[in-house]
Each structure stands twice: as C-alpha cells, then as structure tokens.
C-alpha cells in the first residue's frame, strides 16, 4: 500500500517537471493581411487571424506614421471612423468607414511577442474624376476666323485623362503653322481652336476618366458670329392662278437674325389667311424660311424679298413668282371596245362593197369584220376594237378609221373605262363610205 502511494507521488512530480520543461507554443498568423483598393467614401476592414495567442495582445498600427490605432479591442486613435472587433476566438478586425484619401497607406497587425511578430496590408484609396468649374464652359464667342481656347481641369486619383470631342460627332479641326488636322478626339487639358469657321461652332465635350467609375464630362459652347447670308434655291417659281405656292429662302447667321418677307413694293408681309410664314432650324446657324401664298390672284405675281438682319449686318434674297398658264393636253383618240355580253359564238357576217368611180384607178381594200377580232378567242366574250388611225408608213401599221354608229344597238356595250376622258370623239375622213352590217340571230 505504501509502495503504491510512493509510485503515484513520483508520477505526479515527474509530470510537473515535464510541464515546466516543455514551453507553450508561440502565437502564429493563419492568413496574410489583405490589400484593398477602395473608392473614396466607402467602408473597408482588415482581418487578422492569430492562433495560440494565450496572454499576448494584438495591436493595430499605421505603418507610415507608426501611430498605434488599437490594442486588442481598445481603440487608441481619436478617429471616429475607426473601430476594432473580435469574434471571441482568433479573429480581429480593423474597420475604416467613409475612407478618405489620407487613409491610404500600409496597415500593420502585430503581436507583442519577443521578438515582435507582425504582418502588413496596404490600402489604396481611389477617387473618381471630377471637372473643376471654368469660365470657358459658360460659352466662348469669337468672330469668324478668330481664335478660341478651351480649358478643362480634372481632378481624381489616379490623375484623370482629359479627352475632347464634338457633341454632334463631327471632327475637331486644328490649325497650326499653315497645317490643318481633322481629329475625331483630342487628348489634353487645353483645346486651342484657330481660324474658326462657322461650321466649327457647336458644343464640345470634355471627358475625364481614370478607370474609376463614373467617367464625367462637361459641355463647352462655341459660338462663331458672322453677318447674315441668304441663299435662294429657286429664284423663279411658277404657279397657276387659284393655287397655293410656297417660296423658300435659306438663311445663315450668328447670332440668330430677325427674318421677314416683303413684296417688291417694300410692304412688309404679315401673317394672315393670305400669307403664312414659318421657319425651322437646319443647324446651329442655318434656318429655312418659308412663305406660303394661298389662293393666287393676278395681283400676287411679282417679286418677293426675304430679308435677314442681325447685329453684324443685313442680307436680302429675291424670289420671282410668275403665272403658270396651263394648256389643255391633246391626246390621240383612245381605243373603243364594243363588247358583246353574250357567250362567244360564230356570227354570220355580210360584207358589202361600194366602188367609187372617182377613185382614179386606186384600189380600195375592204377588210372583213373578222380582221378586227383576232384576239377575241382569249376569253369568253368577243370584243371588237374601233380606233382612229393613219396609213402604213416606215413599217408602222395603223388601222384606218371606221365608222362607228352614234348609238350602238341594245345588245352592244361600249366600254370606255380605260379611257382618260368619258367623251370619245372620232373624226372620220373618208372619200367613200364603208357600210358593215352585222346580223345576230
């Protein structure tokens, strides 16, 4: 019994000695501290995972300033945007809310061992581009052939790239040392336009980008001033009496001109039932002037003046309005179809001839009625075409005129639906008469 107690005592002492000889495992990091790229104004946090911390402490520092931010869960820095959290096991987090540009830099998670253990993570704060206000954005004005300098200053991190383009998609024209360049886009903060023409006026866009969304742009207005110029496309317009007519002038002017219409007597025309004026913009400096004259009368014909005036000058254009005399159009006699509504069947035909003693030996051909019914077999109705004609000349045959009865028999239908006029006039010139009689049983 005493031996057993002695053995137990010996075992306890040996175990105690072994515990004193074997050291505690040192703390270790389980994962590296991450790096962050964050847009200004957002929130971010660093995560530090440590095993076997025992009685040691975790601290947070900003490496570049060597300032201690927090120890364990106690915040040291007087910064309301900083905070630390612990999950109760092995994870510590440093939170930074509403990050600012000066928050960029290296952050350190360290353990107060001997020697000290630490790891670093880096945070880069990026800033979306922004364009500073500039007076040139309010609108630049020059005379035609002058110069304009547009400046666009952009801020952001990283530094934005500034690109210029025209809002209407046309090219930017650069002139230097007598050389001319036409570019879709131009890169640079300052855009200098020299020898500016009216075609180059409009809106120019300054676009700033640095791969941090969103890309921003700003509109710059360019105005080129010049006196009015009038172009009259149709200087002579003809129209008949009692019709309506539209007279047009195209005006180019900047600044926008006051446009009016006058008669050649100098009388200014005002909107009324007789006259209607309208105009619409073609582009930044061109307008189309329209004058509608309703129900033309004899007194309305003459000269009309379109006038345009602005602060730099005045221009006039003249449109001559003359009467158009309509002439009745003469057309050859149309074909007249005599249609039998009964089913087609062979009809007996009596042919008669009458000799003319005054024919001076000339032979007169008396064609049968069947000669004019060559196409009647194509359908169920027999048709006969009666046409006014001429003689055989140069290989072109035209049938001779036939006598058409003034009133057709009741069984004959004269179809003139394809004729341009309802009244058919056939003039017959015959030295003799041809009589054709048709009997239908």
Residue listed under structure tokens 């003034």: 406
Last residue of a domain, one of 225, 242, 266: 225
CATH number at residue 34: 2.60.40.10
The predicted model scores a pTM of 0.62
| Residues 237 and 261 both lie in one domain | yes
The per-residue pLDDT for 411 is 36
Range of the domain at 289: 233-323
List the structure tokens of 328. 């009745």
Instruction: Say yes or no to pLDDT of 9 above 80.
Output: no
The per-residue pLDDT for 21 is 55
List the structure tokens of 210. 């640095």
Report the mean per-residue pLDDT for the chain. Answer: 79
The per-residue pLDDT for 394 is 39
Residue 173 forms part of a structural domain: yes
| Residues 152 and 209 both lie in one domain | yes
Number of Cα atoms under 13 Å in the Cβ half of residue 7? 4
**Pairing outcome for strands 216-231 and 140-143:** parallel
| Residues 213 and 261 both lie in one domain | no
How confident is the model over 313-328, as a mean pLDDT?
92
Instruction: Say yes or no to pLDDT of 6 above 70.
Output: no
The per-residue pLDDT for 334 is 55
> What is the Cα 112 distance to its own chain's centre?
67
At 3, is the pLDDT very low, low, confident or very high (cuts 50, 70, 90)? low
For residues 248 and 289, is the Cβ–Cβ distance under 8 A? yes
**Pairing outcome for strands 36-39 and 258-263:** unpaired
How confident is the model over 66-93, as a mean pLDDT?
93
Radius of gyration from C-alpha coordinates of the chain: 52
Judged by DSSP in three states, 270 sits in coil
Q: Which of 46-60, 81-95, 128-142, 357-371 has the lowest mean pLDDT?
A: 357-371
**Residue partners of 264: CB distance under 8 A and separation at least 6:** 302, 303, 304, 305
Please indicate whether residue 45 or residue 135 has the higher confidence score (pLDDT).
45
| Residues 148 and 70 both lie in one domain | no
Last residue of a domain, one of 297, 323, 349: 323
| Residues 258 and 298 both lie in one domain | yes
| Residues 144 and 108 both lie in one domain | no
Residue 257 forms part of a structural domain: yes
Total count of domains within the chain: 3
Instruction: Say yes or no to pLDDT of 251 above 90.
Output: yes
Residue 278 forms part of a structural domain: yes
Last residue of a domain, one of 127, 153, 182: 127
Judged by DSSP in three states, 21 sits in helix
As a whole number of angstroms, the distance between CA 337 and CA 385 comes to 5
Instruction: Say yes or no to pLDDT of 211 above 60.
Output: yes
At 2, is the pLDDT very low, low, confident or very high (cuts 50, 70, 90)? low
How confident is the model over 202-227, as a mean pLDDT?
95
Per-residue pLDDT tens over the stretch 56-73: 999 999 998 889 999 988
Strands, DSSP E only, in 33-133? 36-39, 44-51, 58-62, 67-71, 74-75, 82-86, 91-96, 105-111, 117-131
Beta bridge partners of 146: none
């Amino acid at each position: 019994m005493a031996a057993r107690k002695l053995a137990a005592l010996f075992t306890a002492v040996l175990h105690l000695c072994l515990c004193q000889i074997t050291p505690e495992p040192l703390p270790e990091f389980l994962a590296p501290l991450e790096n962050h790229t964050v847009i200004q104004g957002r929130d971010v946090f660093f995560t530090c995972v440590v095993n076997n911390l025992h009685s040691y402490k975790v601290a947070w520092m900003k490496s570049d300033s060597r300032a201690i931010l927090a120890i364990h869960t106690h915040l040291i820095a007087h910064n309301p945007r900083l905070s630390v959290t612990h999950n109760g096991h092995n994870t510590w987090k440093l939170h930074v809310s509403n990050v600012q540009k000066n928050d960029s830099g290296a952050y350190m998670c360290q353990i107060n061992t001997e020697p000290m253990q630490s790891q670093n993570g880096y945070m880069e704060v990026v800033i979306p581009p922004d364009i500073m206000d500039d007076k040139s954005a309010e609108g630049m004005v020059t005379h035609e052939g002058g110069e304009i300098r547009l400046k666009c200053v952009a801020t952001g991190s990283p530094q934005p790239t500034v690109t210029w383009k025209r809002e209407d998609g046309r090219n930017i024209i650069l002139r230097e040392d007598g050389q001319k360049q036409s570019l879709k886009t131009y890169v640079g903060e300052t855009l200098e336009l020299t020898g500016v023409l009216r075609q180059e006026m409009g809106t120019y866009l300054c676009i700033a980008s640095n791969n941090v969304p969103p890309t921003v742009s700003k509109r710059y207005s360019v105005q080129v001033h010049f006196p009015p110029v009038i172009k009259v496309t149709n200087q002579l317009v003809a129209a008949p009496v009692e019709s309506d007519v539209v007279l047009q002038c195209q005006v180019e002017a900047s600044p926008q001109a006051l446009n009016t219409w006058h008669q050649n007597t100098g009388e200014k025309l005002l909107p009324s039932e007789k006259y209607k004026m309208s105009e619409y913009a073609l582009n930044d400096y061109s307008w189309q002037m329209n004058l509608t004259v309703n129900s033309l009368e004899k007194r309305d014909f003459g000269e009309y003046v379109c006038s345009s005036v602005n602060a730099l000058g005045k221009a006039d254009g003249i449109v001559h309005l003359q009467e158009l005399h309509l002439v009745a159009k003469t057309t050859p006699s149309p074909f007249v179809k005599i249609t039998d509504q009964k089913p087609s069947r062979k009809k007996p035909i009596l042919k008669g001839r009458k000799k003319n003693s005054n024919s001076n030996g000339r032979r007169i051909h008396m064609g049968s009625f069947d000669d004019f019914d060559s196409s009647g077999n194509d359908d169920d109705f027999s048709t006969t075409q009666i046409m006014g004609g001429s003689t055989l000349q140069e290989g072109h045959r035209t049938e001779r005129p036939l006598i058409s009865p003034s009133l057709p028999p009741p069984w004959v239908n004269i179809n003139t639906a394809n004729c341009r006029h309802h009244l058919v006039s056939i003039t017959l010139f015959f030295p003799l008469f041809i009589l054709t009689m048709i009997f239908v049983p």
